[in-house]
Amino acid sequence: MNAFLAIVRVTIKQTLRLRRALGLLLLSGSVAGMYLLFMIATRNSTNTLALQREEAIEVSIGMTIGVFMNIVVPVVTLIIATSVMGDERRDNTMSFLVLRPIRRVVIAGAKVTAAFLEALVLTGIGAAAFGILVGIKIETFSYFVPLLVGTTIATAAYAAIFVPLGYLLKRATLIGLTYVFIWENGIAAAVPALSSLSPWRIGASAIAGLAPPEFQELVGSEFGLGAIDPGAGGAVIKAVVLMAVCSAIMASILRRRDLAT
Amino acid sequence: MTLNPALVADATVEVTSVSKWFGQKVAVSDVTCSFGPGLTGLLGPNGAGKTTLLRMLTGLTLPSQGEVLVKGALPRASVDRYREIGFVPEESALYNTLTAHEYVTYAATLSGLGDPGTAADGALATVELSADADRAIGGFSKGMRQRTKVAAALVHDPEILVLDEPLNGTDPVQRAHLIALLAKLAGEGRTVIVSSHVLQEVERMTDRVIAIVDGKLAAAGDIAAIRRAMSHIPYRVLIECNRPRDFAAALLDNDAVSSVTIDDSRILLETTDLIALGTAVSRQARDLDVRLSKFAPQDESLESVFRYLVGGR
């Protein structure tokens, strides 16, 4: 096993604590739970089938963008990603890592990758459960893959941002939440040119690009993508670039600054 | 030409006019010294700046001023430098969810060793931890945790070994074993730098000492010379007995006693001759029929000794 994989493996083992994982899984699955309540509540609807389907799609999009991508994915990823480096700093294990003959960019890249994979397991399970229920309700699973792809991309982008934050700041979770709610919902929403720096919109653009046409009719009103064009390819590239840039910044910090204690 | 006892001829680690400050606090002030093959004790009371100096030797902390060279290059010049350095930090620095074997194997993997598992087995055997290798580190005693850290620092067979208070928390048997191990590693030609705030510990390991107090180099060189410099410094001794006032008054007349302070049933004495004081206390207690419940030398940290050394420079 090489150093990169070893760091990823040990990081996941060290940070994936059962109680926290169950709590985050509950949060991740909460959107599926809400959708289940919606399904139960509309079970005996007297509307026409076409109207019921239209309503189900509208609720699916609203929950995806307004709750799952806007709250669940960033919060789950924030908690995981900030602890990936933050725990090393708190436990004084950073010296163990940095005093080995491995390039700093390998450490940073492995940490971002570990945070992404660990968070993806949790957000992915929530997305899958939600996607399956949407599929059952609208009798087609055409929304399932776009939802999973969008979740994966947003998780990657958030992990890239929150890993360095966890290393640099002692109150990273609080600052991260401020970032999510002020930057994502305030500044990036008000200034369309900044939407390229919003993981929420990057993930949403992938969903918008891949979703079936009947979902896309709602895209303009619900997704609020700003200057971002819908499309999975562009979203993947943006997430990969974000991961690379944040890993490089993290590596530079490890090279130049005193080891944080 | 005067030889500087803080410098060695065959230095592998060179510290030149190094200072480190954190905001307004000066942790290390203008220290110049060097370390070569063999064991050197870095001695100083808690908070003297030993850990900061050791962190600068390894590159974990950058000097605010001055330069540290490890085998002629800055520690951070290349990550390959870390193939030659093993570091045992004072703080925990352990992954509690891993077993000792997983932890040391992880260290070996990160060091790029071809067969990390076998290397880990060897390192754990060296610190006599093979029997507990498959137990989670979270359940280890402090001594076992220290030995796990030493195994991880040794696993890649480094030429330079830096250990920050490695004997903390170890029991006497483990301590004797670790001291023997460090002496053996130093005997193999490695540069071994061990920090401690306990002079007796360092004395058992090596003759060469660098003493640091308040971030400054207080003394360096032969440990016997430093001991001689300490002989004029008063020891403080705590005595507890049933008639402290009578006993203190009697002891005041003794030449071995420099000063006496009474606090309830406790007497705090200062003496420059601990052996003569012991004899006097025993004789006076017998003569006055005083029942002693405690006779305890204070200043085990030797802080006062180091302060004296700094003051005398």
pLDDT (tens digit per residue) in B165-190? 998 878 888 888 889 999 999 999 99
Of B82, B109, B112, the CB nearest to A99: B82
Contact criterion met (CB < 8 Å) for B95 and A101: no
Shortest CA distance from A6: residue in chain B: B106
Chain B: give the shortest CA distance to residue A254, in Å: 9
pLDDT for position B300: 47
CB atoms within 10 A of CB B158: 21
In angstroms, the CA A206 to CA A114 distance is: 22
pLDDT band (50, 70, 90) for residue A226: low
Cβ A72 vs Cβ A33: under 8 Å = no
- Angstrom distance (rounded) from CA B178 to CA B174: 6
Burial grade of A30 (CB within 10 A; 0-12, 13-18, 19 or more): middle
Q: How far is CA A73 from CA B53, B64, B211, in A?
A: 43, 42, 54
Q: How confident is the model at residue B312 (pLDDT cuts 50, 70, 90)?
A: very low
The pairing of strands B191-196 and B160-164 is parallel
Residue A45 has pLDDT above 70, yes or no: yes
Sign (positive/negative) of CA torsion B299, B302, B303, B304? positive
How far apart are the C-alpha atoms of B192 and B160, rounded to whole Å?
A: 6
DSSP B289: T
Does A99 contact B85 at a Cβ distance shorter than 8 Å? yes
At residue B43, what is the residue type? L
Helix (H, G, I), strand (E, B) or coil at B32: strand
Residue B313 has pLDDT above 50, yes or no: no
Distance CA A199, CA A213 (A): 23
Describe chain B by its helix, strand, coil percentages, rounded to 5: 40, 30, 35
Cβ contact, residue pair B110, A93, below 8 Å: no
- In angstroms, the separation between the Cα of residue A231 and the nearest Cα of chain B is 39
Quick one: pLDDT at residue B2? 47
pLDDT in tens, B16-50: 999 999 988 999 999 999 999 999 999 888 888 99
Asked if residue B143 lies in contact with residue B100, where contact means CB atoms within 8 angstroms, the answer is no
Does the beta-carbon distance from A259 to B61 stay under 8 Å? yes
Disruptive mutation site among B95, B105, B160 for chain A (greatest number of A CBs within 10 Å) = B95
Strand B65-70 and strand B13-22: the pairing is antiparallel
Q: Cα–Cα distance between B302 and B44 in angstroms, integer?
A: 8
Nearest-Cα distance to chain A for B15, in Å, is 18
Please give, rounded to a whole number of angstroms, the shortest distance from the CA of B149 to a CA of chain A. Answer: 9
Beta strands in B89-234 (DSSP E): 160-164, 191-196, 208-213, 216-222
List, as one string, the DSSP characters of A21-80: HHHHHHHHHHHHHHHHHHHHHTTT--S-HHHHHHHHHHHHHHHIIIIIIIIIHHHHHHHH
The answer to whether the Cβ–Cβ distance between A91 and B152 falls below 8 Å is no
pLDDT band per the 50, 70, 90 thresholds, residue B158: very high
Q: In what order do the strands lie in the sheet with B257-263?
A: B257-263, B266-271, B235-241, B292-297
Top mean-pLDDT range of A101-110, B4-13, B161-170: A101-110
User: Which of A9, A10, A100 is the best residue to mutate to test the B interface, defined by the most B CB atoms within 10 Å of its own CB?
Assistant: A100
Cβ-defined contact of B110 to A102 (cutoff 8 Å): yes
What's the pLDDT score for residue B299? 56
Amino acid present at B127: V
| Residue B252, pLDDT above cutoff 80 | yes
Q: What is the rounded CA–CA span in Å between residue A84 and residue A79?
A: 9
How close does chain A come to B93, measured CA to CA in Å?
4
Closest residue in A to B116 (Cα–Cα):
A1
ipTM computed for the complex = 0.84
Q: What is the pTM of this model?
A: 0.81
Domains belonging to chain B, first-starting first, are 13-228 (3.40.50.300), 230-310 (3.30.70.980)
What does the pLDDT read at residue A244?
94
* A and B: number of Cβ contacts within 8 A: 77
B119: left (phi over 0), alpha (psi -120 to 50) or beta: alpha
Please state, in angstroms and rounded to a whole number, the distance separating the CA atoms of residues B181 and B189.
Answer: 13
CB A42 within 8 A of CB A52: yes
State pLDDT tens for residues B58-102: 999 999 999 999 999 998 888 888 999 999 998 878 999 899 999
Rounded Cα–Cα distance for residues A160 and A82 (Å): 10
Residues of A in contact with B59 (CB under 8 A): 99
Q: Considering CB atoms only, which of A10, A100, A103 is closest to B95?
A: A10
